[in-house]
């Protein structure tokens, strides 16, 4: 037991030493090794780096790594709106359905407020990808959590997959190209996606709180379920008694 305590103590000390000498650098998701970039380049070409604009003060940040190898950082308050504009050309050989996407390390740091293609609102639906056509995409996002995260945008292509915005670099480097993206440094309390928004005819909604009609529906389902179980239990006993009397 004494030996085990000594080993555990040594492990803790070594871990502390490693942390002490580790550079406190926030690392982004610079490359995506799970993407088959040959397939990606055969289907999509991102015309330029995405541009991230803070709605509050209009400051724009190009989403590309600078000469020092660092992503730009946007400082936000939770609840702030971020508008992302990017363009891409579909190079596939046949028409497919497409969708817009964004990603952070956890995927819970933003809420999607608006999705547009060529200035047209697409809501939660997909859109047609025509071979050879160039599209202008806009994502309107809302910062929800006080975190430092990297943020990437991209396009989902039917039967191909989710492709993150990146420059077309040939030959393809080991691990894939350096992805377009930014760091978002948000401060403040947690904000719900629709907090402060008036949604007719419901008024102000909070998505993360149970809505009254949802609670009522859940209770009704529980009552119906319990009633069905009680009925089946009674029916089973009745059938058994009937069989015994026969």
Question: Considering only CA atoms, which of 144, 132, 161, 153 is closest in space to residue 85?
Answer: 153
Q: How far is CA 209 from the centre of its chain?
A: 20
CB 95 within 8 A of CB 157: no
User: Taking the model in full, what pTM does it have?
Assistant: 0.70
Q: Residue 157 — very low, low, confident or very high, per pLDDT cuts 50/70/90? A: very high
Rg (CA), the chain: 26
Strand partners, 98: 127, 157
Query: Higher pLDDT residue, 230 or 28?
Result: 230
CB 52 within 8 A of CB 82: yes
Q: Is the torsion defined by CA of 53, 56, 58, 59 positive or negative?
A: negative
- The Cα–Cα gap between 27 and 24 comes to 9
Q: How do strand 96-103 and strand 127-129 relate by DSSP bridges?
A: antiparallel
What are the backbone angles phi and psi of residue 240, rounded to the nearest 5°?
-65, -40
Over residues 21-29, the mean pLDDT reads 42
Q: What is the pLDDT of residues 78-101, one digit of tens each?
A: 999 999 999 999 999 999 999 999
CB 151 within 8 A of CB 72: no
What is the domain partition of the chain in residue ranges?
A: 27-197
Q: What is the pLDDT of residues 121-140, one digit of tens each?
A: 998 889 999 999 999 999 99
Q: What CATH number is given for 27-197 in this structure?
A: 2.60.120.570
115: which 2 tokens?
Answer: 């999705």
């Amino acid at each position: 037991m004494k030996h085990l305590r000594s080993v555990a103590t040594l492990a803790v000390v070594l871990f502390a030493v490693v942390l002490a000498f580790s550079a406190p650098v926030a690392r982004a998701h610079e490359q995506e090794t799970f993407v088959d970039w040959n397939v990606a380049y055969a289907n999509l070409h991102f015309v330029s780096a995405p541009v991230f604009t803070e709605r509050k003060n209009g400051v724009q940040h190009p989403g590309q790594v600078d000469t020092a190898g660092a992503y730009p950082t946007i400082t936000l308050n939770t609840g702030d709106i971020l508008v992302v504009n990017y363009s891409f050309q579909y190079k596939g050989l046949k028409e497919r359905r497409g969708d817009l996407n964004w990603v952070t390390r956890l995927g819970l740091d933003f809420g999607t407020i608006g999705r547009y293609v060529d200035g047209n609102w697409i809501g939660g639906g997909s859109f047609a990808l025509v071979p050879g056509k160039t599209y202008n995409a806009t994502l309107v996002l809302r910062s929800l959590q006080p975190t430092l995260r990297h943020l990437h945008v991209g396009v989902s292509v039917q039967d191909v997959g989710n492709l993150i915005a990146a420059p077309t670099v040939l030959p393809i480097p080991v691990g894939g190209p350096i992805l377009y993206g930014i760091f978002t440094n948000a401060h403040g309390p947690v904000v719900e996606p629709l907090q402060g928004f008036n949604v007719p005819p419901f008024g102000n909604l909070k998505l993360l709180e149970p809505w009254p009609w949802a609670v009522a529906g859940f209770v009704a389902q529980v009552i119906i379920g319990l009633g069905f179980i009680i009925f089946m239990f009674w029916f089973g006993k009745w059938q058994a008694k009937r069989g015994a009397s026969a």
